[in-house]
Structure 1
């Protein structure tokens, strides 16, 4: 077995940097994520970005009959379709929304 050359390693590093840059560009344009949480029994979090003309907040919800529930600063709220925009899109970024949703699942969905 031969060890990779320095040139081969540098070429691989450049390829990975290009791949990472492409993934970051794609993520910057994302407007929604589905996050499956096996540790929470397979619950699906839906994380959505507010339309850019109306704000920059993110919402996190668990889908369900009648609209599901959204995790807001006031706690779990029934029927996400009935929530005001400022209460629904209350998280500053997708990472925060996902983290908050994961932690909130311990509070009972």
Structure 2
């Protein structure tokens, strides 16, 4: 069995710098994101569609499960059928994408 040599201090610092730079780039990209698709294999392959509201109209986020004929949206009032029929305030009801995804996952397991 061969052991790997311990990394040097300089190697660790270089890796830390590389990872910090990569994280900064990912954060900048995420700040401009307007939509996420989150695949949930634990829920039968359900895909959540998380969208940011147009900045001129607000800052909310919506989470929905697309389906033929409209799909369903997870709102503070529960699952709502036919997302096209929902008002903007009811659809874009989450403050950020993380909250929207967390709440939708919780609802799917309930």
TM-score per shorter chain, which class?
Answer: over 0.9
Structure (1 or 2) with the larger CA radius of gyration: 2
Matched, 1:22 2:11: no
1:53 to 46, 51, 56: 56
Question: Within 2, Cα distance between the matches of 1:37 and 1:78?
Answer: 20
1:8 to 6, 11, 31: 11
Superposition RMSD in Å = 0.8
Question: Within 2, Cα distance between the matches of 1:73 and 1:4?
Answer: 50
How far 1:106 sits from its partner (Å)? 2.5
Question: Within 2, Cα distance between the matches of 1:2 and 1:32?
Answer: 43
- The structure with the greater share of residues assigned to helix is 1
Query: Which ranges of structure 2 fall in alignment gaps of 5 or more residues?
Result: none
How far 1:67 sits from its partner (Å)? 1.0
2:47 to 44, 51, 54: 44
TM-score by length of 1: 0.95
TM-score by length of 2: 0.94
2:79 maps to: 76
Q: How big is each residue's C-alpha offset from its partner over 1:33-62, in whole Å with a ceiling of 9 and x where there is no partner?
A: 000001111100000000001000000000
Question: Within 1, Cα distance between the matches of 2:12 and 2:66?
Answer: 45
Please identify runs of 4+ aligned residues in structure 1 that moved more than 2 A.
none
Query: Which ranges of structure 1 fall in alignment gaps of 5 or more residues?
Result: none
